[in-house]
Structure 1
Amino acid sequence: MGSRNLVVSYQQQPREEAKQKTFVPAEGRNRRVLQDIGNLVNDRVSLQGKKPTTEVVDIAVARDVRAPAATKAPAAATKAPAAEIKKANEKQRLEDVIVISSDETEKSKPVSRRVSRKGVKTLTSILSARSKAAFGKAEDTVVDIDAADVTNELAVVEYVDDMYEFYKLTEVDSRVHDYLQSQPDINGKMRSILVDWLIEVHRKFELMPETLYLTINIVDRFLAVKMVPRRELQLVGISSMLLACKYEEIWAPEVNDFVCISDNAYIREQVLAMEKAILGKLEWYLTVPTPYVFLVRYIKASIPSDKETESLVFFLSELGLMQYPVVVKYGPSKIAASAVYAARCTMDKSPFWTETLKHHTGYTEDMLRDCAKLLVQCHSAAAESKLKAVYKKFSSDDYGAVALLTPARSLI
């Protein structure tokens, strides 16, 4: 109804402006609200003491609509004394309201009622009451995590739930399955070394977090469809990061920057050729829901949340990205949810898994325990591992030194 009233107001605006110019001085008019247009006839009083000639015309029109065709008053009868006009206006304001209906049979039917807005229940309030009655106390435990962002247009509160429902449906298309069996020259350890190096490059260039997750996704999906010799594995890595930078960054590093960071192991033409090959194999499909897409939402649903918990979630998530078994066994949304669950267990937050997290992730605590255990094992072994890019990154004060925290005992 709101959009319909708005359209009606736009259609009637030129008529209202024409009426102002013809009958009433501009300073003698009062702006009418949308709900009154076409329904109520108000008594307009001229500020300059002039006769309200518009009331003569409006009353005549109103009477013509209410009266049957056979009993319409002649045009000459509209010139009534001012007292009679004022009396008619007061009577109409209290009793007669013309109802505008799309049904042709209802257009000419007058309805007599008093206009009152007190105690009127909107459809939204009725549906909310019914929903609360139907779900009971269980629904009350789910916190509205978007309440503070209602006025933030970038948060797209109206669509965010539908967006993440779509992400959950489409994550299967971009999910990485076991591909090392088709790669005779590459194994899981080589992949971990590449990812560890890419994390260092990512931090060196000070890139966005989205870029790192998309880079690793591009590498895995390309290796799943194209056999790559060992000597070109690093070339696949820098070409994938170049693509991710072009997709996510405002100021992307240049090709020569990646050539230099790889110690001139490849030339510029090789990087561009590999970039073209990757895009061809992936059919330019780069808009994919990575774990980072879900991490942002799930961290927001982890109430209460703080900077330390957020850093710990990203630490566990990046440790998981380095492990080939984690990436091929679990989807992006489950890796993200498991990182949040493992972080809450590490921080000993009670409860470990809330109704709000269950509602927004779609996972129960039992569904996440196996993946969370793998992430905690990675946390336990990070200090002794030879691949220390993630550990050093999250041992710094910039990330609250969360890598130095004791791993969750409940998941070891």
Structure 2
Amino acid sequence: MGSRNLVVSYQQQPRGEAKQKAFAPADGRNRRVLQDIGNLVNDRVSLQGKKPITEVVDSVVARNVRAPAATKVPAAAIKKVNEKHRPEDVIVISSEETEKSKPVSRVPRKEVKTLTSILTARSKAACGKPEDTLVEIDAADVNNELAVVEYVDDMYEFYKLTEVDSRVHDYLQFQPDINAKMRSILVDWLIDVHRKFLLMPETLYLTINIVDRFLALKLVPRRELQLVGISSMLIACKYEEIWAPEVNDFVRISDNAYIREQVLAMEKEILGKLEWYLTVPTPYVFLVRYIKASIPSDEETENLVFFLSELGLMQYPVVVKYGPSKIAASAVYAARCTLDKIPFWTETLKHHTGYTEDMLRDCAKLLVHFHTAAAESKLKAVYKKFSSADRGAVALLTPAREAFHLNRHEKVLVTFG
């Protein structure tokens, strides 16, 4: 009611006066900072000399109800109007100085889930994966650009699809002058050379892959088997290392059994047979990922996993029967069994490897068997390497024979599939 009466009062003003006020030129020198709008507050008086709200209400009500001049508005009506327009309900626009002095209360922002997180959660729920048992292994590497967290899952999915292209199949049946024992002797010597040159672990795994793939394509006489080994390591060093050893270094470490020209000629022949296809997913590619998924992961677990995987790479039946990803996953599984980490196989490992515990038992049993026989084997390069203090002496740990029901002198037979 009060606001409508004020509007009526404004319309009753003379048109000329209202128009003059509306189009009056602004005096820049008399401009003032916008102060509080308090024309409806009873206890405030306008700085422009206007009347208080009580007197305004008296005059407006008197005109609208057409009461006699002597008639006054009851005190109860004025009190009702004053209560309706309490200072608390008035919107105050303060000057810049006033705003700086008063603390600004902000409404807390609600946490909104992104579409990606919602779709990921729904996808996991649809696949039946227990989210509470899965650990986000890449959470700590979100800000690490080298970890490529956005693409790492797609990369390993691609590795799993392409590992078949570089997988080694049974080739010794076509090699009349080479057998599995000779291959083991060569790999054992290459592991020793790799350690003396202080090379990267990627170099060793790529070297063994190049040797096996070349032997699967070319008949090699026994006298050239070591030449194939050093030439393959030379290629792997050029691919993986920052400072690769020179050709003469490989000639000297092979006790000058070959000359420099022979090494370069074999290097060229190997690259030609393999068609320069060197970017292959070796077991090492999967090992680093699966070790990360083995939570909790420590240095002892990592050393033991690499020890078991290198024992497996020395054995021709393991390389032929199982792919790189399964060898890596089996090494992690056997290591967890050896260290008695319960559970032996977690949902996180199952999610990232794609293998169940039953799928890995056969290969892991072979690795545990090789661990049992490592101390008594004549080929001790791997055993000595991981018996040192810098490798945590993991080769001296008790093998997990009970987990796989293995006797100490039990022989494990491998059949090729």
Question: So what's the TM-score if we normalise by structure 1?
Answer: 0.70
SS at match of 1:353: coil
Deviations 1:120-159 (A, max 9, x none): 6642354355446546771221110000000000000000
Instruction: Name 2:398's counterpart in structure 1.
Output: 406
Aligned to 1:237: 229
- The equivalent residue for 2:217 is 225
Instruction: Report the CA distance shift for 1:138/1:269 in structure 2 as closer, same or farther (over 3 A).
Output: same
Residue 129 to residue 250, structure 1, CA distance change in 2 (3 Å): closer
- Cα distance in 2 for partners of 1:206, 1:124 equals 44
Write the mapping of 1:243-282 to structure 2, written as runs, cut at 5 A: 243-282=235-274
Task: Report Cα offsets for 1:186-220 as digits up to 9, x if no partner.
Answer: 00000000000000000000000000000000000
Cα deviation code 1:295-319 (max 9, x no counterpart): 0000000000110010000000000
CA distance in 1, matches of 2:281, 2:129: 33
Out of 310, 313, 322, which is 1:321 matched to?
313
Alignment correspondent of 1:30 = none
Of residues 192-201 and 134-143 in structure 1, the stretch that sits farther from structure 2 once superposed is 134-143
1:175-194 equivalences under 5 Å are: 175-194=167-186
Distance (whole Å) between structure 1 residues aligned to residue 203 and residue 124 of structure 2: 42
2:162 corresponds to: 170
Structure 2 residue 198 is matched with structure 1 residue 200:
no
RMSD of aligned Cα (Å): 1.9
Aligned partner (choices 283, 288, 293) of residue 296 of structure 1: 288
Q: In 1, distance between residues paired with 2:243 and 2:179?
A: 34
Task: Give the Cα–Cα distance (whole angstroms) in 1 for the partners of residues 122 and 230 of structure 2.
Answer: 55
Cα gap change, 1:129 to 1:386, in 2 (>3 Å): closer
* 1:217-265 CA distance string (max 9 Å, x none): 0000000000000000000000000000000000000000000000000
The 1-side partners of 2:331 and 2:218 are apart by: 30
Mapped partners of 2:127, 2:312: distance in 1:
37
Matched, 1:367 2:365: no
Instruction: Give the direction of change, closer, same or farther, for the CA distance of 1:129–1:146 in structure 2 (3 Å limit).
Output: closer
Q: How does 1:23-38 map to 2 (within 5 A)?
A: none
Residue type matched to 2:328 in 1? Answer: A
Tell me which amino acid in the other structure corresponds to 2:302.
Answer: E
CA distance in 2, matches of 1:342, 1:269: 44
* DSSP 3-state at the match of 2:131: helix
AA aligned opposite 2:387: S
Question: Which runs of no fewer than 5 residues in structure 1 stay unpaired?
Answer: 1-48, 50-89, 91-115
Name 1:149's counterpart in structure 2: 141
Q: Deviations over 1:248-289 (max 9, x none)?
A: 000000000000000000000000000000000000000000
Match of 1:393 among 356, 379, 385: 385
Q: Percent identity?
A: 90
Q: Give the Cα separation in 2 of the matches to 1:176 and 1:129.
A: 39
Residues 236 and 121 (structure 1 numbering): CA distance in 2 closer, same or farther, change over 3 Å? closer
Q: Distance in 1 between matches of 2:166 and 2:200?
A: 21
Is 1:215 the counterpart of 2:207? The answer is yes
The aligned amino acid for 1:177 is H
Candidates 354, 357, 379, aligned match of 2:371: 379
1:138 alignment partner, SS class = coil
How far apart are the structure 2 equivalents of 1:121 and 1:146? 19
Report SS of the residue matched to 2:217.
coil
Change (3 A) 1:126 1:355: closer
Match of 1:139 in 2: 131
Give, in whole Å, the separation in 1 of the partners of 2:218 and 2:112: 65
Distance 1:268 1:378 in 2: 36
**Would the alpha carbon gap of residues 126 and 400 (structure 1) be closer, same or farther in structure 2, given more than 3 Å must change?**
closer
AA at the equivalent of 1:300: K
> Which amino acid in the other structure matches residue 391 of structure 2?
Y
Deviation at 1:383, TM superposition (A): 0.3
Amino acid paired to 1:181: Q
Name the structure with the higher helix share: 1
TM-score of the two chains, using structure 2 as the length reference: 0.69
Q: Distance in 1 between matches of 2:338 and 2:112?
A: 51
Partner letter of residue 398 of structure 1?
D
Q: How does 1:49-198 map to 2 (within 5 A)?
A: 122-128=114-120, 130-131=122-123, 134=126, 138-198=130-190
* CA distance in structure 2 between the aligned counterparts of 1:165 and 1:356, rounded to whole angstroms: 16
Number of aligned residue pairs: give it. Answer: 299
Q: Among residues 341, 346, 352, which one is paired with 2:344 in the alignment?
A: 352
For structure 2, list consecutive stretches of 5 or more residues without a partner in the other structure.
1-30, 32-92, 94-107, 407-417
